[in-house]
Amino acid sequence: MSNANVFDELWQVICQRAESTSTEKSYVRHLLFHEKGINKSLEKVGEEACEFVLACKDGKEEQIVGEAADLMFHLMVALKAANVDFALIEEELELRRAGMHLHD
């Protein structure tokens, strides 16, 4: 898996798990179908964001990388919970890189 495709592939896995009717346990399904609703995935985004900030403050690269990965994963799950396609985030970032903004 190349770095360019890692987010697309992760998004596909999140979508597959969300749409699965299997009774197999899945962390993604646990977050998406929790009794708290979207609040569960949003709580995880907040938790992981705090852990990322603290890792940066402590300056430990391995911990920063791990917490950044956790934050990105949970952010993507929260986007799925909010019914926002990850492709829209990618498009927004591409527009920003090009000097244009969708949401000024």
* 102 domain-assigned: no
Instruction: Give me the number of domains the chain comprises.
Output: 1
In this structure, the number of other CB atoms found within 10 A of the CB of residue 62 comes to 8
Q: Which domain holds residue 65?
A: 3-97
User: How high is the pLDDT of residue 100?
Assistant: 74
pLDDT at 15: 96
pLDDT in tens, 22-74: 777 899 999 999 999 999 999 999 999 999 999 999 999 999 999 999 999 99
Task: State whether the Cα torsion 5-11-12-13 is positive or negative.
Answer: positive
In whole angstroms, what is the distance from residue 102 CA to residue 96 CA?
Answer: 8
- pLDDT of 1 above 60: no
pTM of the model: 0.88
Burial class for 89, CB neighbours closer than 10 Å (0-12, 13-18, 19+): middle
Distance CA(28)–CA(20), nearest Å, equals 11
CATH code for position 83: 1.10.287.1080
